[in-house]
Chains A and B, each alone.
Chain A
Amino acid sequence: MSPIWLSIRVSSIAVAIVFIIGACLAIILHRVPIRGRTLIESIIMLPLVLPPSVAGFLLLLLLGKHGPVGRMLAHFGAQVIFSWWAAVIASTIVSLPLMYQSIKSSLESVDSSLEQAARTLGAGELKILRTITLPLAWPGFVAGIVMAFTRSLGEFGATLMIAGNIPGKTQTIPIAIYFTSQSGDMLQAVAIRVVLMAISFSLIFGLNMWRKRAIRW
């Protein structure tokens, strides 16, 4: 599989996973008063400030042959390390903070007096979430998807650590760029770079244009 298609496939799956995890975490931490919320948030945000290679190293410890998860998987005859699923996991971990942060801020930006008004009108918490909070916060969900996707496309450090550079299997766009540049194949490196920039730019540009138009009220 070409690096471009592989990257798109890895990023799409990673974003789907990150969206579910990020949305659940953001909604639960926003609505339910949980002790240790700051601690949980700090852990979620950690991959944003850690060098991806450190995140990759931690994943390697966890998923590697001798790691707790790796050993459990080996028991079932499965191996994640150096498969394209490893690239998905790396992308998931590094893009989760962006998704979480984006959804969290959009939930917080919903005026709490609207939710209070709904309560006085007899609405239960689920109805409020469905009819008030989510419809008002959804631009943040879309922004989170786009940012997580572009972050996944550009993921390099952690992916290289746990998925390696196996052409056709785990060689995503950023890894292909690095190794083609290293081997002196500048033409191909530039070509892939242009593709990556074009995809990322159109996504971010599209998001900004759409955001201007989508909110009509």
Chain B
Amino acid sequence: MLNIRFEAELDYLTLKAEIVSGNEIIVISGPSGSGKTTLLKCIAGLMTPKEGFIAVDDRVLFSSVDSINMPARERRVGFVFQDFALFPHMTVERNVRYGISSDGISDDVGISKMLEAMNIAHLRKRFPGQLSAGEKQRVALLRALVAEPDLLLLDEPLSALDVDTRLALQTGLKDIQHMRDIPFVLVTHDFDEALRLGDGMAELKVEDHEHRFAYYGSRKHRKSHPFRVISGGVG
């Protein structure tokens, strides 16, 4: 369950975001420079909004009224970066294990199973520099998931991939979201991708120097209207 409502000042525009949603894939789409990445960074705690409120389930991550600004490391918000941000000096396995907390999954069997499920078990001793873009993407995704986040943010996760890999991973992402049952907020500038992946898409309104992303969904609503924002026979 997501409850996000904030305002952030960028150099060239004011960014407003309002997202209320259940555990679904919410797509943020818009032209480059519209503040999509900033929106994700504010949710993850890598940037601080001017004012507002961010909560995942019952945990308040940010509240300007109550002066709450939880540091990124405590938010349990996973982030898959556009360039994947894999640690270049660590093997795939060490990358994946990086976010394991002391009380999280730490047994080798669990990790091995997850590496296999993502089809990257054979790469565990390799370094990121020796991987293809599609493999890097899967490692980055698994690394974020192993830390057991309550919310996963994905910044243009498929943009670096060729068409075939892209289609395969689109399906993969939907399956993973289904299994984990946590909300995914996904940024893309590709409209087709937004249609294929999203359970719903945030609407972007541009007024002068103000960009406003808004999305109001709920699990109940989603079941009866799988693609609510987009009309037409996509799905």
Interface residues of A (CB under 8 A from B): 111, 113-114, 116-124, 131-132, 135-136, 216-217
Interface residues of B (CB under 8 A from A): 41, 44-46, 71-79, 81, 83, 85, 87-89, 98-99, 101, 127-129, 143-144, 147
**Bound Cα distance from A135 to B127, whole angstroms:** 15
Q: Do residues A217 and B127 form an inter-chain contact, with CB atoms below 8 A?
A: yes
Q: Contacts A114-B85, A132-B87 given: A120-B128 contact, CB under 8 Å?
A: no
Q: Which of B76, B85, B101, B129 sits near A117, CB closer than 8 Å?
A: B85
**Bound Cα distance from A216 to B130, whole angstroms:** 11
Q: Which of A111, A113, A122 sits near B147, CB closer than 8 Å?
A: A122
Chain B residues with CB below 8 A from A124, complex form: 73
Q: Do residues A121 and B143 form an inter-chain contact, with CB atoms below 8 A?
A: yes
Give 19 A-B contacts (CB < 8 Å), ordered by A residue: A111-B85, A113-B83, A113-B85, A116-B79, A116-B85, A117-B81, A118-B98, A119-B45, A120-B44, A120-B73, A120-B75, A120-B77, A121-B144, A123-B73, A123-B99, A124-B73, A132-B87, A135-B89, A136-B88
Chain A residues with CB below 8 A from B79, complex form: 116-117, 120
Q: How many A-B residue pairs have CB under 8 A?
A: 64
Min CB distance B100 to A, Å, is 9
Closest Cβ neighbor of A122 among chain B residues = B73
Closest Cβ neighbor of B94 among chain A residues = A131
**Bound Cα distance from A111 to B128, whole angstroms:** 15
Chain A residues with CB below 8 A from B87, complex form: 114, 117-118, 131-132
| 8 closest A-B pairs by CB | A121-B99, A117-B85, A119-B72, A120-B79, A217-B127, A113-B85, A122-B73, A217-B88
**Bound Cα distance from A67 to B101, whole angstroms:** 55
Q: Which of B46, B75, B88, B143 sits near A116, CB closer than 8 Å?
A: B46
Chain A residues with CB below 8 A from B98, complex form: 118, 121, 123, 131
Chain B residues with CB below 8 A from A116, complex form: 41, 46, 72, 79, 81, 85
Chain A residues with CB below 8 A from B143, complex form: 121
**Bound Cα distance from A120 to B84, whole angstroms:** 13
Chain A residues with CB below 8 A from B99, complex form: 121-123
Q: Which of A118, A120, A217 sits near B78, CB closer than 8 Å?
A: A120
Chain A residues with CB below 8 A from B75, complex form: 120
Q: Contacts A121-B144, A122-B73 given: A217-B85 contact, CB under 8 Å?
A: no
Chain B residues with CB below 8 A from A131, complex form: 87, 98
Q: Do residues A217 and B144 form an inter-chain contact, with CB atoms below 8 A?
A: no
**Bound Cα distance from A135 to B74, whole angstroms:** 24
Min CB distance A58 to B, Å, is 42
Chain A residues with CB below 8 A from B88, complex form: 114, 136, 217
**Bound Cα distance from A119 to B74, whole angstroms:** 9
Q: Contacts A116-B46, A217-B127 given: A122-B89 contact, CB under 8 Å?
A: no
**Bound Cα distance from A123 to B46, whole angstroms:** 13
**Bound Cα distance from A152 to B81, whole angstroms:** 44
- Of A121, A131, A132, A135, the most chain B CB neighbours within 10 A belong to A121
Min CB distance A211 to B, Å, is 15
Query: Could you list 8 further interchain pairs (A-B, Cβ under 8 angstroms) beyond the known A118-B87, A120-B75, A121-B147?
Result: A114-B85, A114-B88, A117-B87, A119-B72, A120-B45, A120-B79, A123-B99, A136-B88
Q: Do residues A120 and B83 form an inter-chain contact, with CB atoms below 8 A?
A: no
Closest Cβ neighbor of A217 among chain B residues = B127
Chain A residues with CB below 8 A from B83, complex form: 113
**Bound Cα distance from A145 to B39, whole angstroms:** 42
**Bound Cα distance from A113 to B82, whole angstroms:** 10
**Bound Cα distance from A116 to B41, whole angstroms:** 10
Min CB distance A3 to B, Å, is 41
Min CB distance B132 to A, Å, is 16
Chain A residues with CB below 8 A from B73, complex form: 119-124
Q: Do residues B147 and A217 form an inter-chain contact, with CB atoms below 8 A?
A: no
Min CB distance B125 to A, Å, is 12
Q: Which of A114, A132, A135, A217 sits near B129, CB closer than 8 Å?
A: A217
- Of B72, B128, B129, B144, the most chain A CB neighbours within 10 A belong to B72
Q: Contacts A113-B83, A132-B87 given: A122-B101 contact, CB under 8 Å?
A: yes
**Bound Cα distance from A199 to B98, whole angstroms:** 42
**Bound Cα distance from A116 to B45, whole angstroms:** 10
